Structure 1
């Protein structure tokens, strides 16, 4: 123990020395020896901290029941609005579940949610889970791709960082983290474009990275001229020529043409991001691996990713705060008061909805995020996130969920020659008052690449795919109780404007959970105004 304390003091001394030197010399102006020293010290400190967090994770996942009990006790002790008695009985799991019924704000009108049943927000769960996700994620990424975290090997191209917990000093030295609002997105992209040797590209979320690449194609010549002229930094005419040639060849595989050594894309996973990841994989980031260090729900880390080599994200549900319960997904029982399970009780192959306890108002909140248990890490479940229950369309009592609709839309787009789906949003016709005396129906807004107009035949294919996916929807269509789904093509930047409108809400967490079903009329009208076909 004494030796460990001495080593820690030495590392802290080196840390302080390098930090002082770094304040006097800008990152770009550092001599090579100083940059190398700072990088080595920062990585040693980070690796030591990660090893410590790994030991804590091993202990907590082996003693999962005890750790969840501690998380529950913490929630009860820190609650601002206690709703159950404090004492020995208060921390009993059965008593806690009986006294606090499940709430489901996601199925209530959105205006009521904001006023009465607030979801957990990001600042509530910025503790150990976020730190573990960052430290263990960095170490796992370095193990899977040994060269990407070398000096100058990674750049974040968005003001937000994919790493849930900020690491001010190591992040500053290693250029791994960028606090919100640190720089203009265009300036960040210019820095990245000046660096042909990048091995990892970071962005806050996949939808933000999608916006970056879409903007790059629009402003590519302007950015190239800025690099040639030396804005910022020294003029790089040769690099500008390389960029022009890369941009001329189109969007497919653009990232690897811009940065030939690129290996992996790092973004933070959350609800509604899968479509953006699919679009990036198919177009700009073709041939690259994707890695998310964590899964975020309602702005808080609920899953840790320790396996960067997995093509589809697998996440460990840790037993600490926030306190997590699992509600079984069984057909026909979602509106009933089904009992919840703790983490150690999860069964492989089963699907569950996540339930989080908000320690501010002390509510057990159904998040709507559905996970499938695919394995175990010690005694904790390893899951894959599947879909969200709250993203459901219903105009005549039918239930068209996010998973069913996304699969039907993907099948329809596959039949549209040359089309690649970038984003989509759905609205029930009553929101826009668009029935006009006809049967209620779905209004669908899509942003595509490779197709500028939609024929009536192409539009009809979505409704056909929906009928094939849902016999009940098909019967409603046959009886005329539900009208055909109406598909609208929106212009480039429409969903970027939608995301900006969502982010402007003061209570919006990061990363925002991208809605696929819009409940607010002003948001639906925002897309409606940008229809081009």
Structure 2
């Protein structure tokens, strides 16, 4: 295919760039050979991105044909023994014969095989490559200076780019590149480079952990820079690091890297709180950009608009995507989906992707709102995840509703900044003790070391204002007041490490806001300080 041919052409540049690459100091003037290497690399990427843009234009102008082709690939790769479709690729026939299935149900029916990401290998690789190339082109257009040699560093072993191009990392002049390396070593490389203009991390929660670790181990890192472990000693740079850290977290990134312009992370479920915390404290004054939105490990949306403060994503029609209307307050769930060209602006939909191996129409639980259109394709904004709703008496408080209520409560806590939170229904921890069921809420804060009872009560009041159903249950005593606990620094880092250690953990990792497993809730319970 043309996609394979393009990828082969890009890989042919590897030996050329390897010959051109020469070791050099970050502070040394670029030789003409290094400058040529950089121009060749960006020229190749620019050509490939232009070709991908042309393909995107064709797909979005004829989204019906694009979805038909995506469905055809799904049907060709299906391994379902008694498929009732008999070779038909009509979308209406397909939707009428195959029922919708939630991910949890699909995984149970499919034994222990991971059903997602629901794309063929070709679509999987093609979507990842397209998101990376178009994301790089959009970032270069919005922030031209970040493409200068030595201007970008990745501080986590994972990359924000869906299809990382490590063989181009040195050619593009990255101060550090992602890989299977120690996160501390990556951060140390970045700290040695004061001229960075772009900071990369796998996800916002991972970057939050990096800055928390930087504060905890700042003196040790500064000493390593001063003594040259590794690399040449940089005592002056070490002094700058110590001075920047002494002034606290607010604006730390710009004090460490005065030329920094943008933070690049990959968007997935549960990242909103981390982005808000980073923007309010360590990365204050910086732009944030996510090249793609991923659900259950697969690329779903492309971001072509780095200048937008909140992520906007284009649903390009491949893999085969359906939209299930979300009807709030409805007694019965609708099972009738719409195709991309039928999406209506302002409506909220749950994403439905088709698994090509078992031919399963999976409801991902990710809810998006349509905010516009690009040709015939909808532009969406992520809203919430249905699987992260709270319900101890059928009140069904969604992830977005709870987060908004918690944010409103925290703004009433003097000096407090919310870093992270999760909720647990009291039955998980057996904490009702004969009282009404309730929510257990664990928060990590900055600027507040102790929670008064008055502060704790404010969350329950905000929840009642946000949810009439919850207010009614509280009035009749069917639901008890939410209990709020402050955990110590590093508690959520430990939680994320435990989540990442799970064999079923998706990539990129999604941050849960409702814990369903007792051992994870107990991990936070042991770290409560107030």
Partner of 1:232: 230
Contact 1:167-1:177 within 8 A present in 2 as well: no
Partner of 2:48: 49
Contact 2:176-2:189 within 8 A present in 1 as well: no
1:261–1:215: structure 2 CA closer, same or farther, 3 Å change rule?
same
Distance, in Å, in 1 between the alignment partners of 2:92 and 2:207 is 44
Give 1:76 shift: 1.2
Contact 2:151-2:175 within 8 A present in 1 as well: no
Per-residue CA deviation, residues 132-175 of structure 1 (Å, 9 max, x unaligned), is 11001101100110101110000000000000012232234225
Distance, in Å, in 2 between the alignment partners of 1:41 and 1:117 is 42
Give 1:526 shift: 1.0
1:531 counterpart = 2:528? yes
Partner of 1:407: 404
Distance, in Å, in 2 between the alignment partners of 1:12 and 1:389 is 41
Distance, in Å, in 1 between the alignment partners of 2:132 and 2:24 is 22
Stretches of structure 2 lacking an aligned partner (at least 5 in a row): none
Paired residues in the alignment total: 520
Distance, in Å, in 1 between the alignment partners of 2:323 and 2:518 is 33
Distance, in Å, in 2 between the alignment partners of 1:427 and 1:470 is 18
1:501 counterpart = 2:516? no
Distance, in Å, in 2 between the alignment partners of 1:523 and 1:425 is 10
Per-residue CA deviation, residues 221-260 of structure 1 (Å, 9 max, x unaligned), is 1100110001111000111111111111000000000000
Contact 1:155-1:175 within 8 A present in 2 as well: no
Give 1:330 shift: 1.4
1:34–1:412: structure 2 CA closer, same or farther, 3 Å change rule?
same
Contact 1:194-1:227 within 8 A present in 2 as well: yes
Match of 2:514 among 514, 517, 520: 517
Contact 1:446-1:490 within 8 A present in 2 as well: yes
1:362 counterpart = 2:350? no
Q: Secondary structure at the match of 2:146?
A: coil
Distance, in Å, in 2 between the alignment partners of 1:35 and 1:274 is 39
Contact 1:27-1:173 within 8 A present in 2 as well: no
1:303–1:151: structure 2 CA closer, same or farther, 3 Å change rule?
same
Q: Secondary structure at the match of 1:198?
A: coil
Give 1:367 shift: 0.9
Partner of 2:487: 490
Which shows bigger deviation, 518-527 or 253-262? 518-527
Match of 2:116 among 120, 142, 146: 120
Partner of 1:186: 184
Distance, in Å, in 2 between the alignment partners of 1:260 and 1:284 is 13
Matches for 1:10-49 after TM superposition, within 5 Å = 16-22=15-21, 25-26=22-23, 32-49=31-48
Partner of 1:466: 463
Distance, in Å, in 1 between the alignment partners of 2:110 and 2:215 is 37
Please give the root-mean-square deviation of Cα atoms over the aligned residues, in Å: 2.3
1:63–1:13: structure 2 CA closer, same or farther, 3 Å change rule?
closer
Give 1:332 shift: 3.4
Contact 1:105-1:113 within 8 A present in 2 as well: no
Contact 2:38-2:173 within 8 A present in 1 as well: no
Partner of 2:336: 339
Distance, in Å, in 1 between the alignment partners of 2:472 and 2:56 is 51
Match of 1:397 among 372, 394, 398: 394
Distance, in Å, in 2 between the alignment partners of 1:13 and 1:69 is 33
Distance, in Å, in 2 between the alignment partners of 1:251 and 1:122 is 41
Contact 2:151-2:173 within 8 A present in 1 as well: no
Stretches of structure 1 lacking an aligned partner (at least 5 in a row): none
Matches for 1:377-396 after TM superposition, within 5 Å = 377-396=374-393
Give 1:130 shift: 1.0
Q: Secondary structure at the match of 2:69?
A: helix
Partner of 2:271: 273
Distance, in Å, in 1 between the alignment partners of 2:49 and 2:107 is 42
Per-residue CA deviation, residues 274-299 of structure 1 (Å, 9 max, x unaligned), is 10000000000000000000000001
Matches for 1:41-80 after TM superposition, within 5 Å = 41-80=40-79
Distance, in Å, in 2 between the alignment partners of 1:354 and 1:390 is 13
Partner of 1:217: 215
